[in-house]
Amino acid sequence: MIRIANGQGFWGDWLEAPVRLVEDGPIDYLILDYLAEVTMSIVQKQKQADPKLGYARDFPPLIGRIAARMKERGVKVIANAGGVNPRACADEVRRLAPQLKVAVVLGDDVFDRIADFQARGIELRNLDTNEPLREVASEITSANAYIGAFPLAEALATGADVVIAGRSTDTALALAPMIHAFGWKPDDYDKMAAGTIAGHIVECGAQCTGGNCIADWKTISDFANIGYPIIEAHEDGSFVITKHAGTGGRVSIDTVKEQLLYELGDPKRYIGPDCIADFTTVRLRDDGPDRVHVSGIRGAAPTEFLKVSISYLYGFKATGTLVYSWPDALEKAKAADSIVRARLEALGLQFEEICTEYFGANACHGPAAPPIPQPAEIMLRIGVRDKNKKSVDRFTRELIPLVLNGPPTATGYGDGRPSVREVVAYWPALIPRGEITTRVEVAQ
């Protein structure tokens, strides 16, 4: 049995979680998931501005902080913190923790290969719209294939203390140590599916240990010290989801079920780079306090394609807020929205989208929200999006004047005019698996 803990669900998750996982109990592997689709664009822009950047900058200081305890307890770290610059990330880890052996996994970044793909007829059509990538080719900011667990397992086989990848799948981080420790083969499809689903359960960190949990959330203990998830994985593909004893939160069949449904499409065909997992075969049983046993998982061969995550620039946006207080807070906010829209129309400004929300009334639930006769306050939020930056910039000058020339009791305008920001759009596509070749390097 091996114990695999996940200490980060995204770049920005609780900084103390991985430290506590290493210090508060036994684990063999610590996985850290930093990347989301928009994150790849952010790190690509950082690298373009500075060739030494382009990775999750929280990661090297964290490793420096826990390096001594990692060596003492024999903990290996696997992370996709490399973003679009795994080598630079590894260099910084080596600087802060020179006692650790670091390996990087390369090959997922295809940003510089887009023109070659198109010249050879690989269209990278949008999975949602079927449009060819040439429609936005000039605006692309990042392009990365989702790689699976075997390159990460290959990196572990070098004896590395830390494995740094770019855009691996979230689930591959958990599957890789199982492949490494148990010697699973690519055609062990049931085991591939088991490891993939284990990774899916823990990929969002504490979301499976009581965080963001709907079921009976008021009875979940000590959110301030919530425990992050641990997989107790067995060679036969069964596993237990748990957390360190004495930590807050809860592991139950309910918390695991909620996470199983996270970002799930067809439950019989959860497609990843290593297999197709059948979520309808999952069997859960209570295994004691804060322990859920998972078994019965079946899988099938992966497809001939890998998914590619592409981001591109799509115009500009700006969002501004005002707060109106009782009495008649909602009526005032609606009047303010009407004034702004009328003034924009008088200026001849049109936008691809203009969106208004009333926080405190219906921003989360829309028409399903119960009526509130006299809310104490309402936050008005108005946003616009368009390819014309000048139009968006002009909008930013129409909200703040309402403080003096609109309905009474406006407040919450301390930040002044809204800022204009670039819109980063997402383009999902498929690429033939053979186009992606990964390689492992040990940082020197």
**CA pair distance 281, 297, nearest whole angstrom:** 5
pLDDT of residue 37: 76
Region 62-81 average pLDDT:
97
pTM: 0.94
Region 162-185 average pLDDT:
97
Burial class (CB in 10 A: 0-12, 13-18, 19+), 325: middle
pLDDT of residue 44: 83
Q: Identify the weakest region by mean pLDDT among 37-51, 155-169, 224-238, 355-369.
A: 37-51
Q: Strands (DSSP E) along 194-325, which ranges?
A: 230-233, 239-242, 270-271, 276-278, 283-286, 292-295, 298-300, 305-325
pLDDT, tens digit, for every residue of 412-433? 988 889 999 999 899 999 999 9
Is residue 187 within 8 Å of 276, Cβ to Cβ? no
pLDDT of residue 215: 85
Residue whose pair of structure tokens reads 């591939």 in the numeric block:
192
Region 12-39 average pLDDT:
94
pLDDT of residue 429: 97
**CA pair distance 356, 399, nearest whole angstrom:** 12
pLDDT of residue 38: 76
Residue 365: partners with Cβ closer than 8 Å, 6 or more residues away: none
pLDDT of residue 42: 85
Q: Identify the weakest region by mean pLDDT among 132-136, 250-254, 329-333.
A: 132-136
Tokens linked to 372: 């509130």
Coil, strand or helix at 112: helix
- In the chain, CATH 3.30.70 sits at 313-427
pLDDT, tens digit, for every residue of 265-302? 999 999 999 999 999 999 999 999 999 999 999 999 99
Q: Is residue 200 pLDDT above 90, yes or no?
A: yes
Q: CB count, 10 Å around CB of 345?
A: 10
Residue 172 backbone dihedrals phi, psi, to 5 degrees: -65, -30
pLDDT, tens digit, for every residue of 347-381? 999 999 999 999 999 999 998 999 999 999 999 99
Q: Identify the weakest region by mean pLDDT among 34-43, 61-70, 386-395.
A: 34-43
Q: CB-hemisphere CA count at 13 Å for 336?
A: 34
- The segment with the largest mean pLDDT, out of 48-52, 178-182, 416-420, is 178-182
Q: CB-hemisphere CA count at 13 Å for 292?
A: 22
Tokens linked to 15: 């900084």
pLDDT, tens digit, for every residue of 120-171? 999 999 999 999 999 899 999 889 999 999 999 999 999 999 999 999 999 9
- b (16+ CB within 10 A) / e for 154-193: bbbeeebbbbbbbbbbbbbbbbbbbbbbbebeeebbbbbb
Among 439, 338, 334, 442, smallest CA distance to 398 is for 338
Q: In the CATH hierarchy, which fold is given to the domain comprising 313-427? A: Alpha-Beta Plaits (3.30.70)
**CA pair distance 362, 217, nearest whole angstrom:** 22
